[in-house]
Amino acid sequence: MAPDFSIIVPCFNQAHFLSFCLDSILKQDFSSWETIIVDDGSSDSTHSISLGYCEKDSRIRLISQGNQGLSAARNAGLREARGRRIIFLDSDDYLYAECLSSIRKVVGFENPELVIQYGYTYVSEDSRTILQSVMPQAGNHWYPDIFIKVPGPCHTICVSSTKLNACSGFDVSLKSLEDWDMWLRIFKSGIEVITIRRPLVYYRYVKNSMSRNAAIMFHSFEIVTARAVTYDSRIKVESAANKSYDFDMRPVLERALIRMTALPVMQGKVAEAIQFFKQKFQGDLNLLDPSSYEEMCSYLSFRYWYSENEIDIVLNQLSPKFREFFLGLGYDNRFIKKAMHFVFKRHIYHQNRRKAGRLIGGLMNKFQGLLYE
């Protein structure tokens, strides 16, 4: 008998997180599941750890392949999946114990057109600190939001295997945003969305801002946004939602460009960041409001760097690089002060509260908000 869930766990050189991930599956209070680990050519102990779990529980299987990337690993797991519903769980993330049972209780679970979405909890890399919980909007809300942003991390969306197979799997040519590309196709294939308004999974915040490549990321963003509003021939079923849409993607691209340009700036590649931004920005830089640059403080960069040491790094080591970036764009000092406020206001807020206390620090933050906003 087919299990209710297939949990696909791609892993490439993340053996140090893998046991935590797999233990969270074994702790589920619901038993109708299988887990497919896809070792994507790891050179660490991923293979041996995976074999140990396969011996521990027959519901866990291992696929090994040469390194082909995240999308290919997910597709390999999908081809082997026997479950009626699929969850893609990256090896550095993990589940609440009641995750599967909560999803299974949703009315209409058997309906292959039904997409089930649920909340997630950001945790620090060591899993000791809860950073933030994020809930999906209530109701069938993917349109038009699906054209603006990714609905959520991959493991916060549970989809039928029938639906996934009808949408041709993940695009292995994309270097990033392959999940957004897939969710766009899922939407266009015709769906009903039900949300569970509580967190059921953990999303580990792993700092990799210094290794991300903004140019590669933005190139993928350009490809996905161009596809987003047009008919998609990769969808194998007829659907009224698979059509061209009259939706302006330019503001979406603009926000993404600002967000991604923060990466080379904080990496110290300021001249490269200036050139990249000027080349890709479509419009007049002088018409941008200083508040637009708040996008530079995101999960891609330093949005959750809130320890005392991290705040010191952000405000004392990184902020001069951003000032240099704004100067390179030709902005005057008044504009730069405002833009810097929006980029770093969260960290200034936390610093004021830490140094001056809740009351005085709160008043300082309120004054600064009135001054710049």
Q: Which residue has the higher pLDDT, 362 or 174?
A: 174
Of 169, 36, 32, nearest to 109 by C-alpha is 32
Residue range 162-191: average pLDDT? Answer: 96
Residue range 34-54: average pLDDT? Answer: 98
Residue range 248-258: average pLDDT? Answer: 96
Domains in the chain (CATH in brackets) are 5-212 (3.90.550.10), 248-372 (no CATH)
Residue range 277-306: average pLDDT? Answer: 95
**Helix, coil or strand: residue 62:** strand
pLDDT tens digits, 88-144: 999 999 999 999 999 999 999 999 999 999 999 999 999 999 999 999 987 667 999
pLDDT beyond 80 at 71:
yes
Q: What is the pTM of this model?
A: 0.93
Q: For residue 260, what are its two tokens? A: 């991604």
Residue 174 CB contacts under 8 Å (≥ 6 apart), including other chains: 71, 181, 220, 223, 224
Least confident of 299-308, 325-334, 363-372: 363-372
Of 307, 314, 369, 304, nearest to 342 by C-alpha is 369
Place of tokens 């114990």: 97
Q: pLDDT above 70 covers what percent of the chain?
A: 97
Give me the count of residues in the chain. Answer: 373
pLDDT beyond 80 at 294:
yes
- pLDDT at site 178: 96
**Percentage helix, strand, coil for the chain under 3-state DSSP, each rounded to 5:** 50, 15, 35
pLDDT beyond 70 at 153:
yes
pLDDT beyond 80 at 13:
yes
- pLDDT at site 362: 67
CB count in 10 Å sphere of residue 8: 26
pLDDT tens digits, 180-199: 999 999 999 999 999 999 99
**Helix, coil or strand: residue 114:** strand
Residue range 319-323: average pLDDT? Answer: 98
pLDDT beyond 90 at 5:
yes
Cα of 41 vs its chain's centroid, Å: 23
pLDDT beyond 80 at 174:
yes
Q: For residue 223, what are its two tokens? A: 């490809």
Res. 22 pLDDT band, cuts 50 70 90: very high
